[in-house]
Chains A and B, each alone.
Chain A
């Protein structure tokens, strides 16, 4: 079983709402990542973090922000949701050093 948890699993919200997607891992991994993925499609890196108080933007600008106050927690916030944000959001973590990523099950977001 994966030790990385994402909540909520599904979310339907209205345009303009502020939302936070939660991601927590119990493996003590320093590196964490957020990806956006349409079903069965390629993964786009949104944000990543190499440790507490470290955050960087990825290749896809999705008008979101992240924080990393604790090693185990890496929440993603959309300040003003739009229909174009409708997608699946995947969180991942790794020890680094070619250990591979562990992914969460994702949050399926629909903005109406």
Chain B
């Protein structure tokens, strides 16, 4: 059962535009929500993460928006660049369960020049 639902599956954005990827979860015990970026031939790399006690976290051009009541969170990439073209995965974890991260299915982002 997919515990974290991610959309869209693929996304094409023009250079300079805003890329938005959405994720939703059901398990209210999740208390950690990271985003990973993966380039072809590489392992995923931690991009940015948020805990549910804050509604937004910004690091450079990357922002996570978190809506606890709706059980949704999203990644916004401002001023998208061709170098941002990659696959993005959202994930969620219950740090008290002793279990592993639950990943979304991924979003393939292409930023066109």
Question: Knowing A40-B108, A41-B106, A42-B106 touch, does A101 contact B40 (C-beta < 8 A)?
Answer: no
Residue pair A105, B42 in contact (C-beta under 8 Å): yes
Contacting residues, chain B, for A16 (C-beta < 8 A): none
B104 contact from A42, A100, A102, Cβ within 8 A: A42
A interface residue count range (under 10 / 10 to 19 / 20 to 34 / 35 or more): 20 to 34
Chain B residues within an 8 Å CB radius of A33: 100
Q: Digit string of A95-111 for contact with B (CB within 8 Å is 1, else 0)? A: 01110111111100000
Please measure, in the bound complex, the distance between the C-alpha atom of A106 and the C-alpha atom of B38, giving whole angstroms.
12
- From A2, A58, A100, B100 is in contact (CB under 8 Å) with A58
A74 at the A/B interface (Cβ < 8 Å)? no
User: How many Cβ-Cβ contacts under 8 Å join chain A to chain B?
Assistant: 54
In the bound complex, what is the Cα–Cα distance between A42 and B90 (angstroms)? 10
Could you write out 25 A-B pairs with CB less than 8 Å apart?
A2-B43, A33-B100, A40-B38, A40-B40, A40-B87, A40-B108, A42-B104, A42-B105, A42-B106, A43-B44, A43-B89, A43-B103, A48-B100, A58-B100, A90-B44, A92-B43, A96-B95, A98-B93, A100-B34, A100-B49, A101-B36, A101-B101, A102-B46, A103-B45, A106-B42
Q: Point out which of B38, B51, B104 has the most chain A C-beta atoms below 10 A from its C-beta.
A: B38
